[in-house]
Amino acid sequence: MTRRIVVSGGGSGIGQACAQWFAARGDEVFIVGRREQKLKDAAGTMGANANFIVADLSNVSGAQIVRDRIGSAKVDVIICAAGGTAAKTPTDLNEIDYEWRADIDQNLMTSVLLVEALRENISRPGGRIIGIGSIGAQLGSGYGGSYGAAKAAMHGWIYWLAQNLAEGDVTANLVNPGFIPDTEFFGERMNEDFRKVRVERSLLKRAGSLEDVADTVGFLASKEAGYITGQIIGVSGGTVFGR
């Protein structure tokens, strides 16, 4: 049966890989992001069942754009992969204020607003909400602290969502990737030393691939994963243990 999948951040990196995973299996996908050309190009690689929506999900008007576009259609899987960090090395209160709010908006609020915009559309029973957190939540990630804290807030959000949606037999889980270099996430921070340190931190001594994350997301969206809810699933090669 063809499912309908909405993926924020689907124009690049992990979100794109997740959308591709479902599109390759014949599902209808809607990828959401702010950059139209990026989305167009990504959707172009996913076949006829791929659609894109240009929206900034950190604010209500962006979430409303997605809601209007989806209309009354049922949504089987929502993947909240939009995220990133604005943090550098803040030196004064104004910079700290900007970076913390930006990271909370980009990671937590994009996820909260997308799910709430589509709350009535979620397939019941059987719907799946999958957030993309980060091991940064558990490591107390650098970049001024705001990124790890924003991702840690997603833990509380997913626990609440799991409880809140359980009556409709909808599951909600968070996937916490480790170091996934084939993304736009690291930008100019990426270099050989940066990479080496992160690979060394993992027990398996390799970087994670986009497929490592997309396969996990695909499984959590499957019928077979129907008894898994309210969980934080690390995909980090053992960089951190447990949740």
Ligand X SMILES: NC(=O)c1ccc[n+]([C@@H]2O[C@H](COP(=O)([O-])OP(=O)(O)OC[C@H]3O[C@@H](n4cnc5c(N)ncnc54)[C@H](OP(=O)(O)O)[C@@H]3O)[C@@H](O)[C@H]2O)c1
Spatial CB neighbours of 53, under 8 Å, sequence gap ≥ 6 = 30, 31, 32, 39, 65, 66, 69
> 35 or 205: whose CB is closer to ligand X?
35
- The greatest distance separating any two alpha carbons of the chain, rounded to the nearest whole angstrom, comes to 54
CB of 1 to ligand X, least distance (A): 28
Strand (E) or helix (H) holding 29: strand 28-33
**In terms of residues, how long is the chain?**
243
CB of 15 to ligand X, least distance (A): 5
> 60 or 166: whose CB is closer to ligand X?
60
Residues that bind ligand X (CB under 6 A): 8-9, 11-15, 32-35, 38, 56-58, 81-84, 106-107, 110, 132, 134, 177, 179-180, 183-185
CB-CB contact of 17 with 42 (8 Å): no
Peptide bond into 90 cis (omega under 30): no
CA 209 from chain center: how many Å? Answer: 15
> 56 or 215: whose CB is closer to ligand X?
56
Q: CA 100 to CA 105: how far, in whole Å?
A: 9
> 9 or 127: whose CB is closer to ligand X?
9
Q: CA 43 to CA 50: how far, in whole Å?
A: 5
CB of 3 to ligand X, least distance (A): 21
CB of 223 to ligand X, least distance (A): 25
Beta bridge partners of 121: none
CB-CB contact of 106 with 132 (8 Å): no
> 126 or 215: whose CB is closer to ligand X?
215
Residue with tokens 């992160």: 198
> 19 or 165: whose CB is closer to ligand X?
19
Token reading at 59: 């604010």
CB of 62 to ligand X, least distance (A): 6
CB of 211 to ligand X, least distance (A): 13
